[in-house]
């Protein structure tokens, strides 16, 4: 039989090609500048996959008006003016043969709809084609004869089933088997050997037997009675009965009455539903007491009494409200715990969690000199690295060459993001090593740095991060061309890197600092400082950009970062190029307006940290000023960068809000509080200067003051850290700190919390971070956590709000670690500020009262002050005498050693002795040559012998020590084994008295009467009246307890009160009968009288 002829192949489907050449569609070529203007840039706004986009008609008409006939859209001006829609549909024409970028422009509504339809249809066809290419359609199986072999490999059960016949009694009673323990070692057949050789084990399929078992536990009903541990004081008063209100309408929960119909079926008639319930008459007799009380409450005397009562009970009401906030005593929580999930935050830990760590190879063997978080972008931190850190003490054998370091050394300044911890986002270039950084608090793009040579460097970060994070999209053809070009230009060095940001401006070397810049602070933008040093309040919405820099040379410079106010730099006018009236837009992209300040940027005013007429100045290390009054608001942006953006709002200020007080910490542990006044005229200097007005100085710190910071909530409070001491200063107290504590280890840096005024974090040289809360306790930290194996050099806080805020810590290895704050340190409460302020006021009053009393007492008793000075002078003379004797002994020892060396040199060696030495050396040299002995190898071979000899000598020394102490060892052994046989004499008590106690006793007895009379006279003339109040003491204790534990203190108070009531109170229940409707039982508690 002849085979059927094969079917002819199906005709190939015709390729769909969209047709855009219709009426109303124009084809024009558009340049890159116009594409940017109308937002139609290929690869950025449109792609080959979606080449069509709606462009703004207003921008197109603006291009036509500006360019005129040179505009690409000028030929379509009439059609575009007649076009009624606000947006024009445009499409990119992909043509690799043409060097110009051509676009379709739809000037009519019909053309727009046609192009949309054609584009969507083409995209659908392309997507379907791509799907077909990815998902292959299965074809029918074409047999080639291999299915027989595959079938043979499938295991088939050919063994017949076993037929079993079982005869049992029904119902079957199963008896459980009782197993016995059989020792396999005590019997002969206790082991079984399984040999796989030439044996085949077939699996036997077990038959399934389904059985049902019902398990139902027995029910047990139990009753439990619970008693509320917390007292309830419930009292309600209602005038509903007196006013005659309806309980049903009021929702009182009473029984609802229904009127029966005529049939008595209990269903209300339709006519009765429209009838309103009768209103009960008002009970004037019951309402009279309420109205009388209302009239009394309107009196001024009653209002005054209520105000005084609420004022006195304010603290108790706060305590009760706080307790009710934590625990609702009138709510049953058990159903809520079962039906609802616990979503509250548990404050059970004060441990910081590891987040990310920043380390770069370019910062190897360097320290983190400064690290600051961005004030308006979350997760962005700027870090500078230096060869030395003020918090680290190093000993160097040789001083490094500063010229070689400046020429060949790296000066890394990097911008990191918490999203990517592997590489920095930006690398900022700097000519010299940067010691300190500071972001502008009201300009998100400005970063200021202070260099080691005294220069100030300015970086403008406008669009720098966006350019790095932007992903470049290229067509396949362009990507292919780029790869081909890079392959042929491998020899070419890439000089343009978007991640490298050069310095925008540098200060003038002639007018900047002469030492390293160590501190940068910003002035409030509401004020302006003139060239004569006077501070003015800006009006009419003007804002300034003024910052302060402190240096090791003992000066503070004031800089004005503004291009508008700068007309002359260095006595020369800035010339403008007249050749080009307007530069092309391509040359103005990412060009900072602060470039004109490069190399000519100079300070406005100088403050010298010294005393007039004295050459010594303060080597400044840290500076503290009043922070700028700025608030930040979250402003979302349509940019997928993984961070939040904030905008700043500058709060208005008055002239009295200006605070020119600055706290300056030096490298020698000195703290100065200074201010400046300014000149009434221009002094004629290049930069006008003045000596600071020093309020006071203090030498309380025992090391370099690495930190001086103002409290963000209370601006009159300042914290300084130096050496092992932390001090809290107040603007209201002079010459001494308000609180200071000394720690056992060196403190390196500290920072105030942004959530609680009394909370601060301190880093130590042991790698620990201490958390202090001055409201809870001021003698020790409330938590200590080890964050690094080496010493910590700095600490910084993330200034913007996050779900879990970030704290950054740097260590001596050059790494910057980020940690997440525990939730307990992020609790905000408005009462914290008032409580901390009251605590500082209390400490201030105590300090001022003590100072005044001490001054008055010393004025009335000048002999005491003279005696103290005499003793100090005697002690100083004694120390000087000891130093002199030690110096003389050292000089004598050196003279003796020099004399011995001189005599050894002058010793005359005779001819015989000299000849013997020469012969011995010759014999040694001859033996070494004959026997081929290497002196170095001989010394190495003798090393084990020398070690054995040293061990032998050490053993002999120990044996000699044991022999010397054999009597003591014997006595101690006897005392341990037979303590009753040995009675050791009692050890004499330690005393500082001389051996002749009688003479000392007589000396003191002779002066006793005089001392007694003078002491009694002093006490009578200077009585001290201590003001003590039980109420104040109890309130202070209560405040400390509340601050110690936010929640448990209230519970403990109530528990203690219950225990006290149970023990010391007598309960006298009194029953009072009420109305005939119900009886109310009340329990009155009468307190037992207690004596204090």
Answer whether residue 85 shows pLDDT above 90: no
End-to-end CA distance of the chain: 129
| pLDDT tens digits, 1009-1028 | 788 888 888 888 887 777 77
Choose the most confident range, by mean pLDDT, from 73-77, 640-644, 892-896, 975-979.
Answer: 892-896
C-beta separation of 856 from 864 below 8 A: no
Helices (H), 750-861: 830-860
- With 0-12 / 13-18 / 19 or more C-beta atoms within 10 angstroms meaning exposed / middle / buried, residue 332 is exposed
pLDDT in the model for residue 314: 77
Answer whether residue 1047 shows pLDDT above 60: no
Name the pLDDT band for 223 (thresholds 50, 70, 90): low
Backbone phi and psi for residue 449, each to the nearest 5 degrees, phi listed first: -130, 145
The number of C-alpha atoms within 13 Å of 81 and in the hemisphere containing its C-beta is: 7
- Transcribe 1032-1090 into DSSP letters: HHHHHHHHHHHHH-TTHHHHHHHHHHHHHHHHHEEEEEEEE---SS--EEEEEEEEPP-
The first and second tokens of residue 401, run together, are 């060459």
Percent of the chain's residues with pLDDT above 70:
76
262 Cα distance to chain centroid: 79
Which CA distances in Å does 1055 have to 96, 316, 1051, 1052, 1090? 85, 16, 6, 5, 20
pLDDT in the model for residue 728: 94
Pairwise CA distance, residues 159 & 204, whole Å: 10
The first and second tokens of residue 602, run together, are 């100079």
Beta bridge partners of 1072: 1080
Helix (H) or strand (E) holding 439: strand 434-439
The first and second tokens of residue 616, run together, are 């010594």
Pairwise CA distance, residues 728 & 760, whole Å: 11
| pLDDT tens digits, 572-608 | 444 444 444 555 554 555 688 888 888 889 999 999 9
- Residues near 106 by Cβ (< 8 Å), separated by ≥ 6? 24, 25, 88, 89, 90, 112, 115
Pairwise CA distance, residues 725 & 671, whole Å: 12
Average pLDDT for the chain: 79
Pairwise CA distance, residues 166 & 207, whole Å: 15
C-beta separation of 655 from 695 below 8 A: no
pLDDT in the model for residue 455: 93
The first and second tokens of residue 281, run together, are 């008459």
Name the pLDDT band for 1065 (thresholds 50, 70, 90): very low
Answer whether residue 1084 shows pLDDT above 80: no
Beta bridge partners of 741: 726
Backbone phi and psi for residue 882, each to the nearest 5 degrees, phi listed first: -65, -40
- Pairing between strand 620-624 and 693-698? unpaired
pLDDT in the model for residue 276: 47
Pairwise CA distance, residues 450 & 552, whole Å: 12
Answer whether residue 298 shows pLDDT above 60: yes
* Number of helical H runs and strand E runs in the chain: 24, 42
291-300, 616-625, 857-866: segment of lowest average pLDDT: 291-300
Cα torsion 152, 154, 160, 166 to 10°: value is 180
* DSSP 8-state secondary structure symbol assigned to residue 377: B
C-beta separation of 672 from 609 below 8 A: yes
Answer whether residue 410 shows pLDDT above 80: yes
Pairwise CA distance, residues 31 & 37, whole Å: 10
Helices (H), 20-56: 32-38
C-beta separation of 20 from 115 below 8 A: yes
Helix (H) or strand (E) holding 873: helix 862-906
- With 0-12 / 13-18 / 19 or more C-beta atoms within 10 angstroms meaning exposed / middle / buried, residue 348 is exposed
* DSSP 8-state secondary structure symbol assigned to residue 698: E
Mean pLDDT of 786-812: 90
> 3-state DSSP call for residue 82?
helix
Pairwise CA distance, residues 216 & 322, whole Å: 48
- Pairing between strand 689-691 and 605-608? parallel
Pairwise CA distance, residues 416 & 381, whole Å: 5
pLDDT in the model for residue 1087: 37
> 3-state DSSP call for residue 701?
coil
Which CA distances in Å does 795 have to 85, 168, 371, 386, 757? 58, 86, 8, 16, 17
C-beta separation of 450 from 549 below 8 A: yes
Pairwise CA distance, residues 1020 & 1025, whole Å: 12
Helix (H) or strand (E) holding 87: strand 87-93
- For Cα atoms 481, 484, 486, give the angle at the middle one, nearest 5 degrees: 110
Mean pLDDT of 274-293: 64
The first and second tokens of residue 328, run together, are 């609702």
pLDDT in the model for residue 664: 94
Which CA distances in Å does 964 have to 578, 950, 953, 961, 968? 102, 21, 17, 5, 9
- Residues near 69 by Cβ (< 8 Å), separated by ≥ 6? none
Mean pLDDT of 284-303: 77
Pairwise CA distance, residues 664 & 556, whole Å: 10
Q: What is the pTM of this model?
A: 0.55
Pairwise CA distance, residues 537 & 751, whole Å: 30
C-beta separation of 775 from 1043 below 8 A: yes
37-51, 286-300, 708-722, 821-835: segment of lowest average pLDDT: 286-300
Pairwise CA distance, residues 90 & 50, whole Å: 11
Name the pLDDT band for 801 (thresholds 50, 70, 90): confident
pLDDT in the model for residue 193: 64
pLDDT in the model for residue 1038: 80
* DSSP 8-state secondary structure symbol assigned to residue 453: T
- Residue of 552, 668, 506, 685 whose CA lies nearest to 606: 685
Mean pLDDT of 901-905: 82
Pairwise CA distance, residues 423 & 358, whole Å: 8
* Category of 540 on φ-ψ map: left (φ > 0), alpha (ψ -120 to 50) or beta: left
Between 1023 and 885, whose confidence is greater?
Answer: 885
Pairwise CA distance, residues 248 & 244, whole Å: 12
Pairwise CA distance, residues 704 & 389, whole Å: 11
pLDDT in the model for residue 820: 92
List the 705-710 sheet strands across, edge first: 705-710, 717-722, 725-730, 739-742
Beta bridge partners of 819: 354, 807
Name the pLDDT band for 419 (thresholds 50, 70, 90): confident
| pLDDT tens digits, 908-956 | 777 888 888 889 888 888 888 888 777 778 888 888 888 899 899 999 9
pLDDT in the model for residue 863: 85
Helix (H) or strand (E) holding 1015: helix 1008-1021
Name the pLDDT band for 569 (thresholds 50, 70, 90): very low
- With 0-12 / 13-18 / 19 or more C-beta atoms within 10 angstroms meaning exposed / middle / buried, residue 350 is middle
383-392, 451-460, 538-547, 1061-1070: segment of lowest average pLDDT: 1061-1070
Mean pLDDT of 488-494: 76
Pairwise CA distance, residues 1053 & 1062, whole Å: 14
pLDDT in the model for residue 433: 92
Helices (H), 907-996: 911-930, 935-964, 966-977
Pairwise CA distance, residues 90 & 87, whole Å: 9
The first and second tokens of residue 585, run together, are 């837009």
Answer whether residue 482 shows pLDDT above 70: yes
Mean pLDDT of 646-658: 89
- Residue of 433, 411, 426, 395 whose CA lies nearest to 363: 411
Name the pLDDT band for 758 (thresholds 50, 70, 90): very high
Pairwise CA distance, residues 406 & 629, whole Å: 39
For helices 300-312 and 284-297, angle between their N-to-C axes, nearest 10 degrees: 70
pLDDT in the model for residue 252: 37
């Amino acid at each position: 039989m002849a085979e059927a002829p094969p079917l002819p192949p199906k005709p190939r489907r015709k390729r769909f090609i969209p047709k855009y050449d219709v009426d109303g569609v124009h084809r024009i070529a558009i340049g890159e500048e116009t594409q940017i203007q109308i937002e139609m840039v290929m690869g950025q706004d449109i792609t080959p996959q979606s080449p069509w986009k709606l462009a703004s008609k207003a921008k197109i008409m603006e291009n036509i008006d500006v360019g005129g006939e040179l505009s690409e859209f000028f030929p379509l001006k009439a059609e575009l003016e007649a076009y009624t829609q606000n947006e024009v549909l445009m499409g990119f024409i992909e043509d690799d043969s043409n060097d110009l970028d051509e676009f379709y422009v739809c000037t009519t509504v019909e053309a727009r709809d046609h192009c949309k339809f054609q584009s969507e249809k083409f995209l659908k066809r392309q997507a379907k084609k791509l799907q077909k290419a990815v998902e292959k359609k299965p074809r029918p199986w074409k047999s080639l004869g291999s299915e027989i072999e595959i079938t043979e490999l499938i295991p088939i059960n050919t063994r017949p089933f076993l037929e079993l016949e079982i005869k049992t009694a029904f119902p079957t009673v199963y008896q459980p088997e009782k197993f016995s323990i059989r020792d396999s070692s005590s019997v002969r057949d206790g082991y079984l050997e399984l040999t796989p050789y030439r044996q085949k084990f077939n699996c036997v399929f077990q038959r399934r037997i389904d059985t049902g078992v019902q398990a139902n536990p027995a029910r047990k009903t139990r009753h439990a009675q619970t008693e509320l541990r917390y007292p309830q004081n419930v009292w309600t008063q209602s005038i509903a009965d007196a006013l005659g209100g309806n309980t049903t309408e009021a929702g009182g929960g009473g029984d609802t009455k229904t009127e029966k119909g005529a049939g008595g079926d209990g269903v209300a008639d339709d006519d009765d539903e429209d009838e309103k319930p009768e209103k009960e008459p008002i009970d004037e007799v019951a309402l009279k007491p309420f109205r009388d009380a209302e009239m009394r409450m309107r009196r001024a005397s009653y209002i005054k009494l209520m105000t005084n009562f609420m004022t006195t009970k304010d603290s108790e009401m706060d305590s009760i409200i706080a307790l009710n906030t934590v625990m609702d005593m009138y709510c049953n929580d058990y159903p809520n715990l079962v039906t609802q999930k616990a979503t509250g935050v548990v404050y059970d830990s004060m441990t910081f969690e590891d987040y990310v760590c920043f380390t770069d190879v370019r910062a190897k063997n360097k320290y983190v000199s400064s690290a600051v978080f961005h004030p308006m972008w979350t997760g962005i931190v700027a870090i500078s690295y230096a060869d030395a850190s003020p918090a680290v003490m190093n000993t160097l054998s040789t001083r490094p060459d500063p010229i070689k370091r400046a020429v060949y050394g790296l000066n890394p300044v990097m911008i990191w993001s918490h999203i990517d911890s592997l590489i920095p986002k930006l690398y900022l270039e700097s000519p010299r090593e940067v010691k300190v950084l500071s972001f502008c608090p009201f300009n998100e793009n400005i970063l200021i740095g202070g260099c080691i040579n005294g220069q100030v460097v300015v970086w403008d970060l406008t669009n720098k991060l966006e350019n790095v994070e932007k992903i470049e999209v290229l067509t396949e053809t362009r990507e292919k061309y780029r790869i081909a070009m890079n392959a042929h230009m491998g020899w070419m060095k890439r000089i343009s890197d978007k991640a490298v940001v050069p310095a925008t401006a540098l200060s003038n070397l002639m007018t900047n600092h002469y030492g390293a810049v160590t501190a940068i602070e910003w002035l409030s933008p509401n004020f302006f400082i003139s060239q004569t040093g006077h501070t003015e309040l800006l009006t009419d919405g003007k804002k300034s950009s003024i910052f302060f820099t402190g240096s090791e040379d003992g000066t503070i410079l004031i800089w004005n970062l503004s291009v508008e106010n700068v007309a002359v730099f260095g006595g020369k006018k800035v010339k403008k190029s007249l050749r080009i009236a307007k530069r092309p837009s391509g040359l103005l992209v990412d060009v900072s307006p602060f470039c004109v300040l490069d190399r000519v940027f100079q300070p406005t005013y100088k403050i010298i940290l010294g005393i007039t007429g004295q050459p010594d100045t303060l080597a400044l290390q840290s500076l503290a000023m009043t922070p700028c009054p700025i608030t930040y608001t979250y402003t979302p942006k349509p940019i997928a960068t993984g961070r939040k953006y904030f905008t700043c709002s500058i709060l208005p200020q008055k002239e009295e809000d200006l605070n020119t007080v600055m706290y300056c910490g030096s490298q020698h542990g000195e703290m100065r509080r200074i201010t400046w006044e300014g000149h009434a005229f221009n002094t004629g200097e290049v930069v006008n200067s003045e000596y600071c007005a020093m309020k006071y100085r203090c030498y309380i710190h025992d090391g370099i003051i690495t930190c001086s910071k103002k409290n963000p909530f209370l601006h009159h409070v300042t914290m300084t850290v130096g050496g092992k001491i932390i001090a809290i200063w107040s603007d209201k107290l002079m010459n001494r700190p308000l609180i200071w504590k000394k720690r056992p280890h060196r403190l390196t840096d500290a920072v105030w919390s942004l959530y609680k005024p009394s909370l601060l974090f301190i880093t130590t040289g042991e790698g620990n971070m201490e958390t202090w809360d001055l409201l809870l306790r001021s003698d020790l930290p409330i938590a200590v956590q080890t964050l690094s194996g080496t010493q910590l050099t700095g600490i910084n806080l993330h200034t913007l709000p996050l779900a879990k805020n970030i704290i950054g810590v740097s260590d001596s290895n050059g790494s910057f670690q980020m940690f997440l704050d525990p939730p307990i340190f992020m609790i905000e409460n408005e009462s914290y500020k008032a409580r901390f302020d009251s605590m500082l006021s209390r400490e201030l009053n105590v300090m001022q009262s003590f100072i005044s009393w001490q001054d008055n007492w010393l004025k009335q008793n000048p002999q005491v002050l003279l005696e103290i000075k005499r003793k100090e002078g005697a002690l100083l003379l004694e120390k000087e005498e000891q130093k002199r004797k030690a110096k003389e002994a050292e000089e004598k020892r050196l003279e003796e050693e020099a004399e011995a060396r001189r005599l050894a040199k002058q010793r005359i060696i005779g001819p015989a002795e000299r000849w013997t030495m020469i012969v011995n050396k010759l014999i040694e040299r001859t033996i070494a040559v004959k026997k081929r002995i290497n002196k170095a190898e001989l010394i190495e071979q003798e090393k084990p012998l020398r070690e054995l000899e040293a061990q032998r000598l050490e053993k002999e020394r120990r044996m000699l020590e044991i022999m010397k102490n054999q009597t003591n060892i014997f006595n101690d052994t006897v005392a341990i084994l037979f303590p009753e046989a040995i009675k050791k004499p009692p050890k004499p008590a330690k005393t500082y008295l001389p051996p002749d106690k009688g003479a000392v006793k007589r000396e003191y007895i002779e002066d006793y009467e005089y001392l007694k009379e003078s002491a009694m006279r002093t006490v009578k003339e200077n009585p001290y009246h201590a003001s003590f109040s039980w109420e104040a003491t109890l309130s202070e204790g209560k405040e400390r307890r509340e601050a110690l534990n936010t929640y448990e203190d209230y519970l403990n108070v109530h528990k203690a009160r219950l225990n006290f009531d149970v023990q010391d109170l007598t309960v006298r229940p009194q029953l009072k009968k009420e109305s005939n409707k119900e009886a109310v039982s009340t329990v009155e508690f009468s307190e037992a009288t207690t004596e204090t």
